[in-house]
Structure 1
Amino acid sequence: MLVVEGLQAGYGEARVLHDIHLQVGQGQVVTLLGRNGMGKTTTISTIFGLLPARGGRVSIDGRDMTRAAPHRIARAGLGLVPEGRQVFPTLDVRENLLATARPGHWTQTRVLDLFPRLAERMGHKGSQLSGGEQQMLAIGRALMTNPRLIVLDEATEGLAPLIRDEIWSCLTRLKDQGEAILIVDKNLSALTRFADRHVVIEKGRTVWSGENTQLLNDITVVERHLGV
């Protein structure tokens, strides 16, 4: 579905991405791992056309989408749950869900079934929700675009432990339903229980990629590239 080859990008004169490679197949869960400041969010921004690529290639279903506008990326089947959630603060839950909705499997009813807590907050504006509720809403909003691949940047950052557990449970349900997922998160233990493949980046370059079992069996990768 998604193939990223030799991706390069940056801000102004600063080059942040030098050589990013990753792939996500249909129904796969792939993580994007790395220490803070290594280029994970920049990679996602460039994939979605929010930051122009300076080199390399982004392909969706074999089509070159490297310099496509963000709305074309979305129409091609990618849905984004951005870092910091970024729900619409002045819209209520229902309005947030419907704002970017497209016809398909994911309807408001299905999203509320996945996140019952949102059903209890339907009349609340985005700014009135807790951090955990906002993250549920951000995931629900992305699902309402009926993506073939959902991308989550810092999926559980800043959330209370019980809410994190609820988010992981919901993401596992999505995986079981065949959703393809590309995810950034710092909780390696949760990710290794959940993901099929991992991609590790360092200083804007892909330095390791492999199956979940390979990462679990190669502690040196964790110590060298992911340890504090």
Structure 2
Amino acid sequence: MNSLLQISDLEVCYGDAQALFGAAVSVAEGEFVTLLGRNGMGKTTTVRAATGIMGSRKGRVEFAGQDVSRWPSYKIARLGIGLVPEQRQVFPNLTVYENLVATAHNRLNRKDPWTLARVYKLFPRLQERAGNLGANLSGGEQQMLAIGRALMTNPRLLILDEATEGLAPLVRGEIWDCLQSLKNTGLAVLVIDKNIGPLLRIADSHFILEKGRTVWSGSSASLLAAKDVMKETLGV
């Protein structure tokens, strides 16, 4: 598979405090990849640096064959990255419909673009809540809306930071079903989450961060077999 996102030797600082010490992650076209690790190990920082939301001190980020290491976030997004950020960050004073169309674009001229009808089919509850303000949705509905909003930009890569954090088990199941469906369409996906079980069933490969470094990578079968790695780095 052709590489879509390639993060190499990434170093990032918050002021004088260094958060990443050489993180490395890769996602191929159509691949479902996870970024794992305990809290505070640099997962969100890696995503923020890869999408241009924050700068890096060293390292390289390539997307769709281009070096985007020093690009602004809006320019990287236009290449085809859809981000579902931590804590969802839906527009609270816009309706569900307005959230979905606010940034919608088929910039890459896809033949089967994500449309309102297609998002509503994926998440029927959003159609039911189309006139409701983002602030009045439940946590699960906000996450569905955040995913739908990202899909409406018709990305080549969908990134989810804490995909099911704080959601009820039933809603988490709906999100995992959605992600499986997206994988089946051939969309590349990069997920951060703490629920290892569903990720092992869906994901093609995994990268584990510990103290700002990528310390392990491999397939689901390899991770299942590496009990010591799971215990030491994930506490599982």
Settle same-fold status: TM greater than 0.5.
Answer: yes
Counterpart position of 1:111: 119
2:44 equivalent among 30, 41, 45: 41
Give 2:120's aligned amino acid: L
Give 2:214's aligned amino acid: T
Counterpart position of 1:82: 85
Counterpart position of 1:173: 181
SS at match of 2:194: coil
- Counting only pairs closer than 5 Å after superposition, residues 50-199 of structure 1 correspond to structure 2 as 50-103=53-106, 104=110, 105-199=113-207
SS at match of 2:202: coil
SS at match of 2:167: coil
Distance 2:18 2:164 in 1: 28
Give 2:105's aligned amino acid: R
Give 2:175's aligned amino acid: I
1:26 equivalent among 25, 29, 38: 29
Distance 1:71 1:86 in 2: 16
* Cα RMSD, aligned residues only: 0.8
SS at match of 1:32: strand
Give 1:38's aligned amino acid: M
Note the alpha carbon deviations across 1:169-207, whole angstroms, 9 max, x for none: 011000011110000000001110110000000000000
Residue segments in structure 1 that go unaligned for 5+ positions in a row: none
SS at match of 1:109: helix
Counterpart position of 2:14: 11
Note the alpha carbon deviations across 1:134-189, whole angstroms, 9 max, x for none: 00000000000100000000000000111000010011000011110000000001
SS at match of 2:21: strand
The offset of 1:62, in angstroms, is 1.9
Distance 2:117 2:228 in 1: 45
The offset of 1:217, in angstroms, is 1.1
Q: Does 1:215 align with 2:218?
A: no
The offset of 1:10, in angstroms, is 1.7
The offset of 1:94, in angstroms, is 0.5
The offset of 1:99, in angstroms, is 0.7
Residue segments in structure 2 that go unaligned for 5+ positions in a row: none
When the two structures are superposed, what TM-score results if normalisation uses the length of structure 1?
0.99
The offset of 1:111, in angstroms, is 0.4
Give 2:218's aligned amino acid: G
4+ residue runs over 4 A deviation: none
The offset of 1:33, in angstroms, is 0.2
When the two structures are superposed, what TM-score results if normalisation uses the length of structure 2?
0.95
